[in-house]
């Protein structure tokens, strides 16, 4: 039907593409909403593997209380004066590590319109070694309740329907020279409603956009010591990145990006002698820290789930791309990670140089960024978002969030000088450049330098 760069495997009318969303988590709680003094109420201890677990709907029989003060920028202090760490997780919840215990929960909200930021839903508490596990709930000692703004999708959708895929590709390719767009029949086969649903539709709002931290003088010096281009697929003639996969019509990108980070970092740690491919379906079905095909966050999966539960090989739960009861083979070995964090240390401390340092010294990082409709048409070159709402009244599915793996960086000099990131997507090998894309580096394009996540796999020998 059009000038395709590569043959596309035609799986008749099967939707082969989805971006990720965060449904069911409609809180919009920012740093200042969370910062302050909290009381955490803890329930009884339960055994790992006992079938007991917490969930945001758990009833907690309070056994004891802990008072914690969360201060700038990432300092947590308990009632005994012990100092620890905290970070918000996007605008959905927060994690605190103090006095030898870790606490994580999602912020409370009421319908779509009210964020109850002074309350954490029942969440997960355990000592840092994972021996003593309990549910907890939290109440801030000063009020932080606010109304969410309403985001309307109606007008943009109408405009979207008006322009065809070919038109959009033509406009993108006319408007600029840094990247090339193409049509993908996968999208054209979709009804508008399906596309909206896949991108999370009306529930996929990304309610606020964080900014990267300013680059310090020290970081500028660090930049000079790093190569001008670097790619984990080509280090001393070796490829340390696992093959590109396809998430299908399930908002599981966060699981794919998280698995891909662990797979690549294990290849790096073992000089390519351990080439695992982990099971995103285990995350989709079994993780209490994410919402299955409705979305999730790399911090909580590539980090926290990897530390608390571990990852299993693909064969232990083959990818299906649908929500289901947890069916992971129980006898499968779990592969754990540790030292998970937002690049830079905490949410709000990430930037270009911090990401380069992490990638170069420890391996690929998982990131979240905003997917606009033009991105889905990407074929090659250095992507930047082409249309803005002032000149072109289409920001169709603005504010959906997609997670991917950054494996390196580079620069081009033509048509003009540009720095870029090299990024592995999970939309199959027929999308973009063999499943990869380049995107502008250094200006937080689509929010991608604001929330990179990393963790360290624990190598298993058996
Ligand atoms: C989310 O909260 C921030 C900070 O309070 C605010 O600026 C932003 O407009 C909010 N977004 C929505 C959609 O309510
Ligand atoms: C890593 O593997 C490569 C290729 O097999 C080999 O040439 C190299 O010596 C190994 N490096 C180390 C440190 O073992």
pTM as predicted? 0.90
Structure tokens at 239: 């490829």
Residue in 30, 33, 107 to alter for ligand 1 test, most ligand atoms within 8 A of Cβ: 30
pLDDT for residue 229 is more than 80: yes
Peptide bond into 73 cis (omega under 30): yes
* Residue that has been written with the tokens 């994972």 in this structure: 130
- The atom number, within ligand 1, closest to the CA of 115 reads 14
pLDDT bucket at 150, cuts 50 / 70 / 90? low
pLDDT bucket at 208, cuts 50 / 70 / 90? low
pLDDT for residue 168 is more than 90: no
Per mean pLDDT, which range of 23-37, 167-181, 330-344, 393-407 is the poorest? 393-407
Burial of 230: CB neighbours in 10 Å, binned 0-12, 13-18, 19+: middle
425 is catalytic: yes
Pocket lining: 112 vs ligand 1, CB cutoff 6 Å: no
Pocket lining: 148 vs ligand 1, CB cutoff 6 Å: yes
286 is catalytic: no
pLDDT of residue 397: 38
pLDDT of residue 15: 39
393-445: per-residue pLDDT in tens? Answer: 444 434 557 899 999 999 999 889 999 999 999 999 999 999 999 999 999 99
Q: By alpha-carbon position, which residue is closest to atom 3 of ligand 1?
A: 208
pLDDT bucket at 10, cuts 50 / 70 / 90? very low
User: Whole-angstrom Cα distance, residue 176 to residue 174?
Assistant: 6
96-129: per-residue pLDDT in tens? Answer: 999 999 999 999 998 778 999 999 999 999 999 9
Alpha carbon 119 to its chain's center:
24
- The atom number, within ligand 1, closest to the CA of 147 reads 14
Pocket lining: 92 vs ligand 1, CB cutoff 6 Å: no
pLDDT above 70 coverage of the chain, percent: 82
Structure tokens at 319: 């990818």
Crossing angle between the packed helical segments 217-225 and 352-362, to the nearest 10 degrees: 40
Q: 22: closest CA among 202, 285, 155?
A: 202
pLDDT bucket at 231, cuts 50 / 70 / 90? very high
253 is catalytic: yes
Mean pLDDT, residues 248-255 taken together: 87
Q: Provide the Cα torsion 423, 426, 431, 436; round to 10°.
A: 20
């Amino acid at each position: 039907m059009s000038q395709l760069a590569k043959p596309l495997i035609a799986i008749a009318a099967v939707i082969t593409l989805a971006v990720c969303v965060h449904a069911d988590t409609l809180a919009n709680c920012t740093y200042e909403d969370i910062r302050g003094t909290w009381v955490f109420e803890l329930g009884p201890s339960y055994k790992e593997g006992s079938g007991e677990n917490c969930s945001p709907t758990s009833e907690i029989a309070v056994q004891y209380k802990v008072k914690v003060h969360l201060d700038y920028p990432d300092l947590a202090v308990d009632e005994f004066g012990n100092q620890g760490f905290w970070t918000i997780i996007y605008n959905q919840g927060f994690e605190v590590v103090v006095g030898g215990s870790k606490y994580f929960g999602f912020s409370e909200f009421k319908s779509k319109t009210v964020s109850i930021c002074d309350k954490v839903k029942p969440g997960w508490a355990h000592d840092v070694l994972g021996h003593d596990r309990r549910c907890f709930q939290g109440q801030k000692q000063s009020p932080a309740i606010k109304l969410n703004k309403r985001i309307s999708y109606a007008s943009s959708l109408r405009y979207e329907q008006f322009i065809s895929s070919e038109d959009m590709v033509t406009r993108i390719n006319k408007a600029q020279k840094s990247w090339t767009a193409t049509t993908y029949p996968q999208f054209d086969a979709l009804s508008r409603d399906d596309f909206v649903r896949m991108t999370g539709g009306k529930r996929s709002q990304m309610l606020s956009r964080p900014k990267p931290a300013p680059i310090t003088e020290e970081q500028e010096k660090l930049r000079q010591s790093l190569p001008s281009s670097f790619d984990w697929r080509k280090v001393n003639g070796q490829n340390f990145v696992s093959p590109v996969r396809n998430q299908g019509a399930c908002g599981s990108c966060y699981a794919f990006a998280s698995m891909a980070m662990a797979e690549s970092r294990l290849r790096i740690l073992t000089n390519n002698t351990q080439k695992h491919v982990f099971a995103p379906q285990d995350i989709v079905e079994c993780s209490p820290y994410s919402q299955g095909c409705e979305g999730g966050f790399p911090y909580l999966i590539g980090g926290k789930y990897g530390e608390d539960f571990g990852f299993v090989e693909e064969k232990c739960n083959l990818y299906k791309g649908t929500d289901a009861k947890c069916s992971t083979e129980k006898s499968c070995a779990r592969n754990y990670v540790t030292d998970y964090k937002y690049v830079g240390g905490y949410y709000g401390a990430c930037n270009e140089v911090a990401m380069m340092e992490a990638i170069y010294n420890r391996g690929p990082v998982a990131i979240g960024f905003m997917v606009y409709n033009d991105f889905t048409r990407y074929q090659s070159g250095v992507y930047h978002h082409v249309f803005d709402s002032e000149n072109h009244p289409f920001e169709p599915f603005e504010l959906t969030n997609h997670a991917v793996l950054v494996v390196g960086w580079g620069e081009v000099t033509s048509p003009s000088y540009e720095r870029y990131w090299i990024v592995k997507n999970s939309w199959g090998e027929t999308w973009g450049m063999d499943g990869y894309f380049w995107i502008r580096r250094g200006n937080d394009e689509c929010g991608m330098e604001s929330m990179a996540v990393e963790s360290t796999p624990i190598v298993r020998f058996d």
